[in-house]
Each structure stands twice: as structure tokens, then as C-alpha cells.
Chain A
Amino acid sequence: MILNGLFEKEFKAINIGLVSFKEALDDAEYKCIQVDWSPPAGGDADALAALNALAGL
């Protein structure tokens, strides 16, 4: 199966960031879910690194 069947499956997206990218997909009638994202660990770089280490990322 090519790319896990990406080309055969119905296109459905998740958008993290600029809302205009979701709006474009809405306008073109494709399904897209917007994530209400904010920086992890309140944007603190050290705390983020520690969290990532814990999460195994």
C-alpha cells in the first residue's frame, strides 16, 4: 500500500497553528479539525525539554 493508503483514503486533516489553513480547507469542502494549541509548559524552553524527555520525544 502506497504511503499507508493516503491517496485512496478520504482526505481529513488536523490543523495546528494558523486558522486560515483550516478556513481554506473548509472553503474547499474538506474536513479539517482545528487544535486550540498553545505552547507547552507555558513556553518555557527548559521545562519543555524536561517534559519531552519524560514523554520520550
Chain B
Amino acid sequence: MAVKGIIKTGEYYDSVSLMLVARALTEMEGVEDATVVMGTAENKQILEASDMLLDMFKDASDTDLLIVGKAVDEAKADEVIERAEELLIESKQKKSASGEHMPKSIEGALDQEPDATVLIISVAGRYAGDVAMDGLKKGLHVMLFSDNISIEKEKELKEYGREKGLLVMGPDCGTAIINGAPLCFANVVKRGNIGLVAASGTGLQEVSCIIGNEGAGISQAIGTGGRDVKSDIGGIMFIEGIKALEADEATDVIVLVSKPPAADVLAKVADVVKDLKKPVVAILIGGDPEVMTAAGANAAQDLEQAGLIAVALSRGESPDGVPASLEARKVEIIKQAEEEAAKMKDGQKYLRGLFSGGTLCDETQLMFKVDIGPVYSPAPIDPAFKLDDIWKSKENTVVDLGEDEFTVGRPHPMIDFLLRKKRIVEEAKDPETAVILLDVVLGYGSNMEPAAELSPAIKEAKEIAAEAGRHLAIVCSITGTYKDPQNRKKVEQELKDAGAIVLPTNAAASLLTVEIIKILGGK
């Protein structure tokens, strides 16, 4: 085995471009591992852990680009470096392919476009906070995709934004739709009269897609980042977002999406909600719906119900019909669960949920908790069910592969399916696995060919089970619209062709899974 590397000084690339290059390198024949990273202290630690920290890298700085390949022999390792350089040139060419002038600073961009309203930031966390403040001081609303920003900095940014009438969406805000424009990981939903405020990225995506797929539309979807509803921040932007939607003439219904807020923040939000004139739908996953109901909001049980209630209200209809329509579908799902469970072998009794969306993972956990009991997870609802080894499932297990511990040195699982594909095959080998549950999130930013990525793993998993005389159910939900760049219809069909059961929402897919596991007795 040979390890070779080079340093390119003063060349800066964003982390996703680099990860995609590294991914292409590791797929070369005869290559065991390859990494292309900026020379930060964290990256050097990662290289050390995988025995790829060459002596020449030890003094490298943040602006040095490190390329290293581990391959069967020296010639192959040289080939890795050569290919990396080619791919980096391609990546640079792609960046400037549009031929547009790229200014070096916010000032330069504003000279070019003085009417710009929103600044989108996705640089490393240690720089992002200052870039955001710079933008706010120039009168720009901020969409802060970056994470790893201190809570103190977040508070400073949000207090400043509130004072100046500027939105600060994030840090760690994955998605928003402003004036119809999809920001970061957003879906294509037509404009309409439903406004969203969400402290949960995939929660916002799931609800906006359900609304879009029902033929209704979104006025604005404001993300706040998950920490906004914690006591330290006090819901600053969540509350500013609600007030903005209440005042917005194009918004007739307001939907609130969040993981459980801190009690004091929930009380503040309820206080604002009770004075609103517009109807409000609230889905606080795992939170107490009573507080919101008392404030006059329609409290939903899951993300799908929240979307459907909002659609009914947006059309001036009563939301009372929604539970009945979902009950009718439940009957169908139970029938399907009976058919699936009947095909399974003795001993098959557990769920393995492999998620790319954190809120969807939480929603499934919650549905299991209500109907079956707590499930194991790296981030369980019940602390007693914390998974000892995040790489190894136990009984009923759900994992969010988008959690930091899984994404060190690799792109988010909505972009890179490698980890999930490996885990699907691993779970299929376990004779106790009955259902593998997957979320497939479409939209801008996500992998453009999710079904082509997942189908081989789904087929392999089903074959592994079949060879051992088992029937494995692979249940997929799709978060996406028919207008998303991936084409939801095509994705659905390809997943079905691979042998998966495809349901329209995570709530429906989780319900089918719950019903199967209930029959099999996998507590």
C-alpha cells in the first residue's frame, strides 16, 4: 500500500466541491482511500485518524489544499493526485462557467446589484458569523446555512437583526422559500397563501411539499435554525417570522413547525399566537400540543396532518375533515401491513430506520413511542434507549445519518448516499430486520439521482434476505414535489421497480412500519 500527497498553497475550494472530488477519487480502481481537504486543524486530525497525515502536511495552514491518496502501489497513488488536479480544474471551470463577474466581497456584490435583499452564507462556521454581521450592517437579510457558530454570536446577530427589521435565518438553517425563491435545500412549490415559520429544516420541506402536492401554495417559508427556540435565543426570529406573516397581505394561514421549544419560549410563542387574527396550525414534534391549542392554534399530530389542515384552511374549508380522510387511508395501510407481515419469517421483527432528515427521524421515533414503545437511536427521545454503538443497530433502531457524528469528512446524506447504501445492505443481513425505512428528500441541493443511487442497494438487500428465506420490506417516503428538479414521479417509479414500497409522506411510511412491527411483536 502506498500513500502519496501534495500541498497546493493558496487555493481555496468550498467543502462540498472538495468532498465530491474525494468521492470520485475513492471510486477509482485500486484506490483504498483519498482525501482532498483544506489544511485546518480539524482536517489534519481526520487525516491522522485514517493514517494519511503525511509529514509534509503537519505545518499546512487553513488556506493550503491537501491532496492525499492511499492506493495499491506508488503508480496508482500518483494517478490519484493527477486525477485530483484534473477534477479541481473542472470544478473551478464550472464555478466560472456562467461567465458572470464574481466580486470578491459583499461591497463588490452590492456595487453590482444595489437592490440585493438576501445574503446566503455557507462558509466555515468560524468565518460565517462575521460575514453575517457584515451583511446585516449593509441592510441585508441573512440566510445562514453554516453551522458551528457560537450561541453568543447567534444571539448578537438575531438581536441586531430584530432591531433593524432584518431576518436572520440560521445558523444551521437548511432551507427557506422567500418570494418564491428556493434557498439552499428547498423544494419547488408554487406561490400561494400559506406562510410557514420553521425551526426545523426537513420539517419545513415536508410540510411545504405536502402543501404543494395538494395543489395549494406557499407565500413565504421562513427558517430560523433549530436553536432559535431554545431558551438562550428565546425564539427571537421564530416570533419575528410569525409577526411578519401576520402582517403580510399575501398570507392567509400561518403554519409553525418545530421540534419541542423550551418551555419559556413556547409560552412566549403562545402569547404571540393568541393575539393573531389569521388561523394558525402548529406542529411541535414531541411537544405538548395543549399550549398551542389553548392559544387558539390548530395543533397537528404529525407533519402530514399539519400540511393538510393548512391546505383546508387556506381554501376557507373546515379542517375537521382531515382526521377522517387520514383514518380512511389508515385502514388501507393496515391491510398492506398485514400482507407484508404475513410474508415474513419467524424472528423478523424489528425496524431499521435510516434517515437523511433529522425531523423525519424524530417524527418516526415519536410515532413508534406512541404505538409500540421507544426505539434505539444515537439521539433517542428516551435517554435509556441511546445506541451504544452508532454503527450497529439494536432491536428497533432509527438513525439520522445527517447528524454530525456521521458527516465528518463527507457530504450530507441528502447529497452522498454511500453510507446509507452500505448500512441498508448491513441491516438486510440481520435475521431480525423486518423493515428498512428510508426517507428520500428531493429538491434543490439534494442528490439529483436518488433512485439510481438507492436502487442497487435496495435490490441487493432484498436478495440477501431472499437467499436466507426471508421477506424484507423496504419502505420509502418521498419529501418532494412533482416540480422538483429530480422529478418525483420518476423517483417513485424507480424505487418501486427496485422493490421498495413507496408512500407519499414520512407519516404514512412510519404508520405502515409501525403496523408491520406491531403484528410481528417487535417491541
Contacts and interface: CB of A to CB of B under 8 A. Distances in A.
Contacts of B248: 2, 7
Contacts of B17: 18-19
A6 interface: yes
Contacts of B467: none
Nearest to B131: A16
Interface string B11-27: 01010110000000000
A12 B181 CA distance: 9
Interface residues of B, number: 70
Contacts of B109: 14, 33, 35
B332 to A, nearest CB: 36
Nearest to B167: A3
Contact of B119 (A6, A14, A43): A14
Q: Which has the most chain B C-beta neighbours within 10 Å: A7, A34, A36, A39?
A: A7
Contacts of B444: 20-21, 24, 27-28
Contacts of A18: 14, 16-17, 122, 145
Contact of A16 (B115, B120, B188): B120
A20 B448 CA distance: 12
A18 B16 CA distance: 7
Contacts of A39: 12, 62-63, 123-124, 127
B134 A57 contact: yes
B118 A7 contact: no
B485 A27 contact: yes
Interface in B406-457: 444-445
Contact of A34 (B63, B102, B130, B184): B102
Given A14-B110, A16-B106, A17-B14, A33 B131 contact: no
A30 B94 CA distance: 19
B62 A33 contact: no
Given A38-B12, A44-B62, A14 B116 contact: yes
Given A4-B165, A27-B485, A52-B130, A13 B119 contact: yes
Contacts of A12: 113, 115-118
Contacts of A36: 102-104
Interface in B210-224: 219-220
Interface of B: 10, 12, 14, 16-17, 38, 40, 61-63, 94-95, 98, 100, 102-106, 108-110, 112-113, 115-124, 126-127, 130-131, 133-135, 139-141, 145-146, 164-167, 178-184, 186, 188, 219-220, 240, 243-244, 247-248, 250, 444-445, 485
19 contacts: A2-B247, A7-B244, A7-B248, A9-B115, A9-B117, A11-B117, A11-B181, A13-B181, A17-B122, A20-B444, A28-B182, A32-B120, A35-B103, A37-B123, A38-B12, A39-B62, A42-B63, A45-B126, A52-B130
Which 4 A-B residue pairings sit nearest by Cβ, starting from the closest? A43-B62, A17-B122, A24-B444, A36-B102
